[in-house]
Amino acid sequence: MDRSFGLSYAKIGILLLSVSCVAFYTVTSTEFLALFRPNFDMTLSVERKAFVYEKMIEALRNGPSTCEEEGLYCKRPETQHVDCGRVLEGDKTYLQTLTGDNRIPLITDPILNMSCSAINSRIRPRHLHFEPLKLGGAAFARIVYTDYEFIEKQVQVSYHPQNLFCFAIDKKAPREFHDNMKSLSECLPNIILLPVISRRDWSYLMLLQNHDVITKSVYELDRIFDLLGGANDVSVSPEMKRRRTKNLKWDPKSLKMFKNESEIDTRILNSELTMASGYVQGSLSRAAVEWLTQKVDLTNYINQWNLSRYGGDEQFIPTFQMNADLGMPGHFTDECIRRGEPGAIEITRMTHWWDGTRESCASKTMIPSFDYSIVECTAELIYNRTFLGQVNYDFAQDYYENLVPIRYHKHHKEPGYVLNCTSDYERFKYQDYIN
């Protein structure tokens, strides 16, 4: 059996049995599918569940795929029939066959092969060739707790021998997930479950959460980080009220923030921090990460945010980013917010808020157990750009170079510098993140 399928003949038997029972005994189909695939999307109709299994069986019955030998992207059995070209081109008629009640969830593999040879074949097949990265690689730090196969897919999408991957496993994660992540870290030398700061020459650290989807190739990210030039990409906005616990002191002195207070101006030590809200996601320069782990002591700062009932993690890095006097490398300033101007447009996380109908915010359902086909198609697009030389858009170099925080980072130490909080470019939209 082709290793890219990740399914044995025993699994074909399970699938065949599942489909026959779905068709024959619909009353208990949900319970039956839950037995063999406990994470199967239970909101799908019985007919759609049967269709997904039939497509998997058809893919397996056709025999080993030649995608790897041909140097092409290898899809999972449940998505092999999906034409990602038509999906990404926005073929509305075709999309109707893959969305809504017709969506295709990821079918979790209950006996996934977690040997090192299998993990390596899924993430870095032998035929792949990697070009050196200009900045020596990036680090990806992701908080995880579920959907191991999705996590592994995101590692594959952003894998490069020079990149590093660091995972913090949430305590609510099941034992099997812990075991799989441990196997992943043991089989690839650049995947770790420990701090990354002491590891080799990575340039930027991307902070991510469990289901964040990578939409740029390793070479595009390398180029973007080079254009940032040491500036951090962090969302900053005015503090959202009622997120802090009352009657706590937030000045660096009370927080015992600096390990060597004699180096810090007394005014800075005794001034309350200007709080900012933002997101967990962000991209920090290596210098910023070293500052956060070596220059300051975050113990009390973290403990006080942990007292918040909601959203403390979304204030953590943005507050450092906006308090220029603290001196974190790559920082921004609160000047634009004080003027009532937007200023910082973040690029690490694409955010689309909408209070209207659910159709206006499609990405909210980009969860593998609900709709995996778009995750797969995004991965195929990145693979084609990384290894097949596919170029289907103009790299937006001017956009990155003219981001307000980037201009600030380059020029704020110059005599007479005046910050311009406006940009000639609009915030990225959906299509900009995959185009």
For β-strands 204-208 and 282-285, DSSP reports them as antiparallel
User: Which among 226, 164, 282, 201 is positioned nearest to 395, based on CA atoms?
Assistant: 226
> How much is the pLDDT for 197?
67
pLDDT of residue 378: 94
Estimate the crossing angle of helix 116-123 against helix 175-187, to 10 degrees.
80
E-strand ranges in 116-185 read: 139-144, 164-169
Angle of the 148-157 helix axis to the 116-123 helix axis, nearest 10:
50
Tokens of 353: 């808020």
How high is the pLDDT of residue 18?
39
pLDDT the model gives residue 409: 97
The per-residue pLDDT string of the chain (435 residues; one tens digit each, 9 = 90 and over) reads: 333 333 344 444 433 333 333 333 333 334 434 444 445 565 788 888 888 889 888 988 887 778 888 889 999 999 999 999 999 888 999 999 998 889 999 999 989 999 999 999 999 998 899 999 999 999 999 999 999 999 999 999 999 999 999 999 998 999 999 999 999 999 999 998 766 666 778 999 999 999 999 999 999 999 999 999 999 999 999 998 888 888 999 999 999 999 999 999 999 999 999 999 999 999 999 999 999 999 999 999 999 999 998 888 999 999 999 999 999 999 999 999 999 987 778 899 887 666 666 555 655 668 898 899 999 999 999 999 999 998 877 888 999 999 999 999 999 999 999 999 988 877 766 566 555
pLDDT for residue 6: 38
Please report the pLDDT score of residue 311 as a whole number.
87
| Nearest Cα residue to 137 out of 120, 115, 161 | 161
Q: Is 230 left (phi over 0), alpha (psi -120 to 50) or beta?
A: left
CA–centroid distance for 13 within its chain: 35
